[in-house]
Each structure stands twice: as structure tokens, then as C-alpha cells.
Amino acid sequence: MNGAESLLGTLVDSGVEVCFTNPGTSEMHFVAALDEVEGIRCVLCLFEGVLSGAAAGYAAMARKPASTLLHLGPGLGNALANIHNAKKGDLPMVNIVGDHATYHLEYDAPLTSDIEGIAGTVSHWVHSSKSPEDIGVDAAEAVLQAGRGQVATLILPADVSWGDNPNGCAPGVSLPAPATVPDSRVDEAVSLLRSGKPCMLMIGGREIDSEQGLMLSRIGKACGARTCTETFPARVARGAGTAVIDRLPYLTEMAVDHVKEIENLILIGAKAPVSFFAYPNLPSAIAPQGCNEFTLATVNEDIDQVLEALLEKLDAVDVEPDVHPLTLPDLPTGDLDVMACGASIAHLLPENAVVVDEGITSSIGCFPLTITAQPHDWLNLTGGAIGWGLPAAVGAALGAPDRKIVCLEGDGSAMYTIQSLWTMARENLNVTIVIFNNRKYSILELEFARTGARGGTPGPKAASTLDVGTPDMDFVALAAGMGVDATRATTAEEFNEQFEAAMQSTGPCLIDAMVPTFLS
Amino acid sequence: MNGAESLLGTLVDSGVEVCFTNPGTSEMHFVAALDEVEGIRCVLCLFEGVLSGAAAGYAAMARKPASTLLHLGPGLGNALANIHNAKKGDLPMVNIVGDHATYHLEYDAPLTSDIEGIAGTVSHWVHSSKSPEDIGVDAAEAVLQAGRGQVATLILPADVSWGDNPNGCAPGVSLPAPATVPDSRVDEAVSLLRSGKPCMLMIGGREIDSEQGLMLSRIGKACGARTCTETFPARVARGAGTAVIDRLPYLTEMAVDHVKEIENLILIGAKAPVSFFAYPNLPSAIAPQGCNEFTLATVNEDIDQVLEALLEKLDAVDVEPDVHPLTLPDLPTGDLDVMACGASIAHLLPENAVVVDEGITSSIGCFPLTITAQPHDWLNLTGGAIGWGLPAAVGAALGAPDRKIVCLEGDGSAMYTIQSLWTMARENLNVTIVIFNNRKYSILELEFARTGARGGTPGPKAASTLDVGTPDMDFVALAAGMGVDATRATTAEEFNEQFEAAMQSTGPCLIDAMVPTFLS
């Protein structure tokens, strides 16, 4: 058994079932091993940013890591933005990065680069295997590290891959359970919640499931605390039957206003909220000065445990949660805009769908309108690096193969990783993409206005850098070029018809929704 | 004047005329400054890998740096592969990477990342500006550093960008001249060349112009030394009237064979040749053991000076160089394959064209057949990171606006940075793209065979990772989706007609050339 085979075998024995690949010469022995080891599904992506985003989306849905296979430093660089997103979302990921043979590095060949240096910027754990005998153990350790909600990057030199490994595979590992929270911390939270001061319970992290939301609602009602989710938790259950919980607003001004009365902010799997960006005359921290930010549970601690303990200690067991009813907006008619798209999607969204949201400003209709739609999961962009949505939809479809994936995409953000469409076609993934084709980087028009430069109106050069409509992009043609069926919607009626048909289909399809920007 | 304006003004005063941009929120003040400062052309790209590749192509043609504008660590990550290529090609590049405001970093916002760490892996020089008063001087230093054939990355915190700079712009700088080579080194080369031992003169680096090639040929003939270029110099003059000089072969076995008799290898702007990848049972160094590798001039030293000195000292001034005649292959007929494409391109290539070659295995016809075509420049992929060709064509067209750019692209490699087409359409660039659509990662089929695994024939999973033809990509549709005119060629006659028409046009167009792989 060579090193590559023992690596793959150890991954499989540790429950890693999918490998998103874009190999090169230094990975050819790993590629050969794919046919020697049973139990791993190999998914080719045409660009590495697709495969790292797919791994992030897979992890969010499957609750375990996929592996990636990347070609040297440049392949890792191409994957970096979506690895960053996974890292910021505390999502598990195992990256395998091929390298030159160990003895070849000193020759500084054209593709030699500082892989450890690149990997270190976006990984919790980086390790370069030293010999074929080590690689099985190294792979098991990578899965363990990933299992802590981390990005683990294992560098696989070509000679480690092709060399003989008499040790064979290492024993498979299980993902670690979340860590127990000490009672003392729960007690401190209880005393804060009973202090009589204004409190907020903020929940976040990898996943906020429906049960957790309901528990949080009951706890909040029992003790009079407000409840809130992070702005962008990686995954959150929403829709009819889920608890009524606010979301911390994205815009700094609104977020600051949202928490301005709070004196105790209790964080459950959430980080202390901060402004996405800095602005002159706005604070970096969202909570008011003097607010006590108390971490009840970190993202890797047992959130069910602390919620159950709070339910008990705050006598909330018999409190009824506030729950969203099933209320569908009417199907829209007439002009198509982002609110009409939102109403249509909310009306037609099937039960148990997964919404992948990279609609940026254009999700402004869909997000509020779906809160009383059929129950669904919503995946957010956790690290702010654009180009995550289409890849995440690839991964979500593989991580939850029985569910309909609805991907909301801006036209600008779609173009970072448009190659995702090809993998959707190849794997016949159950993904419906809505492109909000507004021919602008609308979020940047808003941000430009906030600078106050030129009275908030861009000059001609600045305007040109915010305009993705010269020439207009034709996403129907782009989809066709990669084997995905697509249609264009210019009225609400067309959108309704196309989205309804998409909900009936099981393969990939794309709707190019021609909408004005939300600012207009 | 704010920091961003003094940065831009200093760049312009230092001869930087183009800025390839993909901005985000933290760069909005820089974007606003674009309309306050005269003299810089701002070119929007839809993905950062396009703009870094464009900057590399621009530098190769314009012989000076462009600047890029990148959004935080993920934007830099997206650009990394083509920055790597520029770095390996010793091409000048000034990257401006926006960052959060200095005081915001401690809050670890979602888009906070280790920008210096990422930049350090692909830059010769990295600096983060500390205040608006510094940014002009920092920008001038970045241009100076880039002018040494280096990648300079300047990190621009948002508060440095928006803050007031009473110092205004820094004085513009000029690019440094190449360093003089000491006579002693030239004398040592002369004595090696006169030693009677088998010698080879290997030239490489940023650019091998026609005059340099002719001088090298005369020198070689005068002293009986063989002459050769690196495998992938960034830019080389070729075609009728240029000197007959070998190219070091790409395949390790062939390269080793090419130099196996050589005892003195004299390097002029070239690096000591090494195998692109390591293989079991093949050496990493190309030159035979015991061969004396003598660096006569590094890439940043004065290559004209050493060639002129050698001409004198070796009595080669009156030696006639060996020169390629103008010999055009007949236009091909019948089935379309990579040799037919090569013959057609060689027949029709206009004088002074620039060929950007990322055809990978499919350039096997075009490269040899164009050597007696009309004189042209040929740009090579210097760092081996795929996804350079289309972006480099964008940059080459802006760096040499009076010349026809012909971009040879593999179908697989085209998909890494296909977003380039949109910028070509937007800027109406004089680029003709030939996509060799063979539905395979052909180079990897070859590399798989070289592993010897399974007798050299991939199993079903391995084969699937080398196959980009399920589904087939339709580059005519992809081009249409981004506003570029495109046609499909399935016979030699169709290719001839389409390529001839493309040579008459002045805007971007694409030919989707349906060819078998070179292996078939």
C-alpha cells in the first residue's frame, strides 16, 4: 500500500465520504489511489474556489468534514477565500494539498511555493507529512482537528504519496463530541438573567437547529431577556414552527441600535458582535460601552446542554415558545423586483428546503418573507468572502442529497465561482439558483454613498468599478455553456412559473431574474 | 488630500498608468480617489485572479508595473496564483490590498485575516502603511521595489486611505536600470567558452528580444557553443528574422537528454534548469552531474551589456547569425486537430502579434509551426499556475494596445479564470482566443500514464478527475454570456475562415476549436 492509499483509506475509515478534487501532476498517485480505496465519492471541480466552498457547504449540512484535494500553493491560493469562510464559520474541513517530493523542494521549481505559509493563514492546523509511514496517522489527526470545527490542512509531498507504507491505514477516528460547559458558568448566566438588568441571549455558530431556537425562546420569555441570533450563523432553522428570534442587523448603525439598551449580553456559540467594517464615526464593537459580554458557551461547547440547563434553572420548562405560523405571501404579479422574488420564493419554497444565501442586497426581500414559509434551513456566508454561494450549494446538495437546495446569488458574487455550475450539471445536483441580475455591485453603491465622497454619488471612474452591466451578463448563456438548464424572468409571473417548475424538478436549474437594484 | 489620493497620485507620478480593480467596502475611499486623480486607467475585473494575471501580462508587454486593487485577504488569496506566476517570471507588479482600519483589526471581524502572511508567500516586498502621512512614500517605494522585477504588495488600511495627508503625494520615482555586470564575470565566461569543453549559453528571464537572440546566435557560432532559451521565458521574440535558438524541452527526460553532453552551462538571465516536477527515477536537476553552471547575468542585470561584451571578446561582431526564414505552412484542410490549428495560426498570424500561450498540450502544433511565421512575441506561463492565459491576454492588450493578441487556451485552463472574457468585452480589447476544446485535462492523462499505476490507464474514478467533458463545455455560449463574439470550428476549413476573420477584427473574439487530445 502506498502513502496515498493509506491516506485515503484512513480518511474513509474516519467517516470522510467525499473528496472535492482539482488535481495536478504532484497529486497523480493520490488520483490513482481513488480507484484502489472503496468508500469515497470524488467530485471534480473546475476551479479550487469551487471545491473549498463546496466543502464548507457540505460540512454545514452533513455536520462532518469533506476533504479537498488541491494542487500545490497556487491551488491552495485559489481555494483560500472559501477556506477563510469555513474557518470563520467554525466548519470542519480537511484539505489535502499536494506538494513536490521532499527532496525536490530545494531546486525551487516553477511551482515551488511556501505552502505551509499560505495554509497557516487560513487553517487552525497545518502539517506536512514527512514519510509514507506517517501519512495514515497524520490523516487521522487531520480529521480529529477538523472535527473540532476547524480547518485542517495536510500537505502531501509527492514522494510521501508514492512511497510504500508498510503500516497501512491508521485506525479511523470519530469526531469529538462538544465539550461540556461547567455548571458554574450556567449559574453565572442565570444570575445575570435574574439581575433585573436588560439582558440579551445571542445564539450563533455552526448550526442553530429548530429545537435550540424553541428552547431559547422559552428561556427568553421565562426571564424577560431578549433573544437574537448572530447576523450570519453558518446554518439556522427557519420558517413555520420555528421560534421567533431576532437576527442582529448587518448594518453597523442598525446593529448598535438593536442592542443599545443591553447591559448583559450572553453569548451562546456566538462571538461578541463587531462591525463588519470600520467606518469613521462608528464604533467597532456593537455592544454599548459597559455592556457585560458573557460567553456562556463557545462554538465547540455543548449548546444543547446549556439551553436545557437554563430551561430548568429558569423554570422555563413549561413556558410556550413564540413560534412563527405558516403564512405564505401571495404570489406576486407585475414588475419583477427583489421583493417580488422574495414573495414568490416564500410562497413556493418546499418543506425542508435549504436556502444558500449569497444574494447580498438582493436577499432583502427573501429573508423576511420566508420566515413564515415552510420550515427550512438557511446557510449564511460566515467569512464575508464573496464567491461562496454557488460552491456552497454544490456542497450542500451532496451533504443533504434528499433536500432541495435554493441558492440566492447576486450577479456580481456569482461570477467569482461561476464554474460551480459545471459540477452541478455533472453530478446532477438538486439545486435551483436564482441570480439577482441587477447589473451592479449594489452593496458597494451603498458603501460608496456612506463614504460621503462627492456627496455620495460616484464619479465616472468610481461608477465604472461598481457597474457589472457593461456588458450585461447573460446567465442563461453562461449556464448553457456548462450544461445547466436556465431561464430568464423579467416579470413576476415569469418568475413564479419558472421557480415553481424548478421546485418540481430534481436536477440543477438557474433563473436569471432581471431586477432593479434594491436602491432604486 | 486624503491618503488614497496621495497613493494614487504617487503611483501616477511614478509611471503607473493602469489599475486593475476588484474593490470592496474597505477600498471605497480608494475608489472615490480614482475620480480625483488624473492619469490612471481603471479596469474592473470580475474576479481577482483575472486582475493579477492581467497585471502580469501588462508588465510583460509594457515593461513596467501595473497596479492591482484587492479587497482584503480573500481578494489577495483569489489573486495569489497569478501573483505567483508573476513572481516566478520576475515581472514587476504593485499590489494594493485594502485592509480594515488599523484600530478595527483587534475585533477580528469576519473579513479580518493575516494579509501580511498571505502576501509574504508571493511577494518580494510587503509593507503595511501606518498612517496617511506615510502612504505616498510607501507607494513610491512599492514602485521602486516592483521595478526590480519584483512583486511589491502594499497594504492600505481603510483609515490610512480615508485619513488626511498634509504631505500630499511623494515625488514620483523612475524604474531602476538593470545592474552592470563586472568585467571579471564576462572574462570568466569567455574563458569557459574557449575552454574547448562542450558549452551551452542559456538565456532567459523577463524578455528575450530579437536583438538579444541574434547576438546570442552570433556568439554561439563564433565559439562553437550551443544556444538555448529557458523552457518558459516570460516573453520571447520569435518568427521570421529571429535567431535560430533551441528551447529547453519541458519533459524532464527530454531536457536531460538535451544537455547531457554539456560541461559548462552559462546562464544569462536564466535560472539553473530543474525538472518541473519530481518523478521516481528522474533527477531534479537537468544539467548532468559535474556540469559547471555559471551565472553570467541574473535576470536583473544588464543582458545587453554582457551580450555586447561577449560579441567583442569572442570576435563575433562580424559573424552572421542563424536566422529563421519566413516560411508559412499551407492552410490545413479536413479534420481539425491541434496540428491543423497550429498550421492555420502560423499561416495567418499577422506581423507583430503577441501570442499568449496557455494551450498546454494543445500548443504542440502551434509552437513549432510559428517559428517561421511573421515576427511576433510569445508569452509563456512562468510559474506553472494554471489560469494565467486569459487574464494575461487582457493585460497584454492593455500593455501593447496597437498589437493583435492571440491567446491559445486549453479548455481546462480557460475555466480557472473564464471571467476574463467580460473584461475583454468591456474594454473592447484586441484579443483573439483559441480554445482547444478537447474535453480532457490532457496533460494529466499524460502524467497519470507516467505514474505507471494500473498499467498507466486510469480506473473509473481517476478517469473522471481527468475528464472535463461530462458535460461538454460550450465556449460559444460562455463567451456570449459575457459579451464576446464567438464561433465554433469543427473542421480545418472552418477554423481557417474564423481565424482569418478574427485577424481582421479589432475587438475580442473566441474560437471554440473542437479537437481531439494530442494523445489520440
Could you tell me if B229 and B302 lie in one domain? yes
DSSP class of residue B491 equals B
**CATH number (domain holding residue A63):** 3.40.50.970
Per residue, the 3-state secondary structure of B296-352, as one string, reads EECCCECHHHHHHHHHHHCCCCCCCCCECCCCCCCCCCCECCHHHHHHHHHHHCCCC
Considering the domain architecture, whether residues B283 and B392 belong to the same structural domain is answered as no
Tell me how far apart the alpha carbons of residues B114 and B74 are, in angstroms, rounded to a whole number. 10
Tell me, yes or no, whether B187 lies in a domain. yes
pLDDT (tens digit per residue) in B28-77: 999 999 999 999 999 999 999 999 999 999 999 999 999 999 999 999 99
**Do A292 and A353 fall into the same domain?**
no
Q: Is there a contact between A462 and B122 if contact means CB atoms under 8 Å apart?
A: no
Query: Does A520 fall in a domain?
Result: no
* B282–chain A Cβ distance below 8 A for any pair: no
Over range B384-402, report the average pLDDT: 98
Q: Which chain A residues touch B31 with a CB distance below 8 Å?
A: 444, 448, 458, 462, 465-466
B70 strand-pairing partners: B97
Mutate to test the interface with A, among B5, B31, B159 (most CBs of A within 10 A): B31
**Planar angle of CA A456, A461, A465, nearest 5 degrees:** 85
A132 Cα to chain B: minimum distance (Å): 14
Chain B CB contacts of A117 below 8 Å: 117, 120-121
Section B123-132 average pLDDT: 97
Block residue for cell numbers 491541434: B338
Contacts of A284 in chain B (CB under 8 A): 103-104, 106-107, 109
Domain membership of residue B176 (yes or no) is no
Which pLDDT value is given to residue A520? 64
Stretch B462-473: mean pLDDT: 94
Asked whether residue A195 falls in the same domain as residue A342, the answer is: no
Q: A121, A180, A175, A182: which is closest to A148 by C-alpha?
A: A175
pLDDT band at B494 (very low <50, low <70, confident <90, very high): very high
CB distance A198 to A264 below 8 Å: yes
Question: What residues make up the domain containing A247?
Answer: 183-313
Whether the CB of A212 is below 8 Å from some CB of chain B: the reply is no
pLDDT, residue A488, reads 98
Query: Residue A333 falls within a domain, yes or no?
Result: no
Q: What is the model's pLDDT at position A519?
A: 72
Q: Which of B389, B61, B408 is nearest to B236 (CA)?
A: B61
| A483 domain residue, yes or no | yes
**Residue B377: beta bridge partners?**
B237, B354
A24: closest chain B residue by CA? B444
SS3 state of residue B157: strand
Set of cell numbers at residue B288: 548532468
Residue B520 has pLDDT above 70, yes or no: no
Instruction: Give the three cell numbers for residue A68.
Output: 479537498
B103 and B198 fall within a common domain: no
Cα–Cα distance between A282 and B128 in angstroms, integer? 23
Domain assignment present for B169: no
Q: Are residues A428 and A388 in the same domain?
A: yes
Residue of A nearest to B73 (CA): A81
- Maximum C-alpha span of chain B: 70
Whether residues B125 and B22 share a domain: the answer is yes
The closest alpha carbon to A138, from A122, A157, A119, belongs to: A157
Among residues A279, A313, A347, which one ends one of the domains?
Answer: A313
SS3 assignment, position B271? coil
pLDDT in tens, B234-280: 999 999 999 999 999 999 999 999 999 999 999 999 999 999 999 99
* Preceding peptide of A157 cis, ω within 30°: no
For B272, nearest residue in chain A (alpha carbons): A107
CB proximity list for A129: less than 8 A, separation 6 or greater:
A3, A135, A138, A154, A155, A156, A157, A160
If asked whether residues A109 and A230 sit together in one domain, one would say no
- One domain, residues B138 and B223: no
B333: number of Cβ within 10 Å: 11
Closest approach of chain A CAs to the CA of B481, in angstroms?
Answer: 4
Distance CA A391, CA A405 (A): 12
- Following DSSP, what letter does each residue of B346-396 receive, concatenated? HHHPPTTEEEEEE-GGGGGTHHHHGGGSS-EEEEE-SS--SS-HHHHHHHH
* Pairing relationship of beta strands A485-489 and A405-410 according to DSSP bridges: unpaired
Collect the ranges in chain A with pLDDT lower than 70.
Answer: 520
Say yes or no for a CB contact (<8 Å) between A483 and B460: no
Domain end (from B162, B193, B226)? B162
**Residues B303-353: pLDDT tens digits?**
999 999 999 999 999 999 999 999 999 999 999 999 999 999 999 999 999
List, as ranges, residues 321-380 from B with C-beta within 8 Å of A. none
Average pLDDT over every residue of B139-159: 98
pLDDT in the model for residue B518: 77
> Chain B interface, mutation test: which of A277, A380, A423, A426, most B Cβ atoms within 10 Å?
A277
Q: Does B130 share its domain with B225?
A: no
Give the residues across from A431 on adjacent strands.
A405
Domain count for chain A: 3
Our CA-based measurement puts residue A497 at a distance from the nearest CA of chain B, in whole angstroms, of 23
**Inter-chain touch A473–B482, beta carbons under 8 Å:** yes
A268 within 8 A of A204, measured Cβ to Cβ? yes
Q: Is B171 exposed, middle or buried (0-12, 13-18, 19+ CB in 10 A)?
A: exposed
Would you say residue B170 lies in a domain? Answer: no
Contacts of B173 (CB under 8 A, 6+ apart): B14, B140, B143, B144, B147
Distance CA A59, CA A62 (A): 5
pLDDT at B454: 87
Cβ neighbours, 10 Å, residue A444: 24
- Residue A499 to residues A358, A503, A504, Cα–Cα distance (Å): 18, 6, 9
Residue B322 lies in a domain: no
Q: How far does Cα A352 stand from its chain's mean position? A: 18
* Predicted local distance difference test score (pLDDT) of residue B236: 98
Residues A495 and A444 in one domain: yes
Strands B235-238 and B376-380 turn out to be antiparallel
Q: Which cell is A236 given?
A: 439556522
3-class secondary structure, A292:
strand
**Same domain, residue pair A344 and A485:** yes
What would the pLDDT profile of A200-229 be if each residue is shown by its tens digit? 999 999 999 999 999 999 999 999 999 999
Report the percent of chain B where pLDDT is more than 70. Answer: 100
The distance of B218 to chain A (nearest Cα, Å) reads 30
**What is the average per-residue pLDDT within B496-502?**
98
Q: Measured between beta carbons, which residues in chain A are less than 8 angstroms from residue B418?
A: 418-419
Mean pLDDT of the region B419-438: 98
* pLDDT > 90 fraction of chain B, expressed in percent and rounded: 98
The CATH number of whichever domain residue B198 belongs to comes to: 3.40.50.1220
What is the C-alpha to C-alpha distance for residues A86 and B121, in angstroms, rounded to an integer?
A: 21
Nearest to A373 by CA among A400, A393, A354, A394: A354
Dihedral of alpha carbons B483, B484, B485, B487, sign: negative
Model pLDDT, residue B519: 72
Beta carbons of B343 and B332 less than 8 angstroms apart = yes
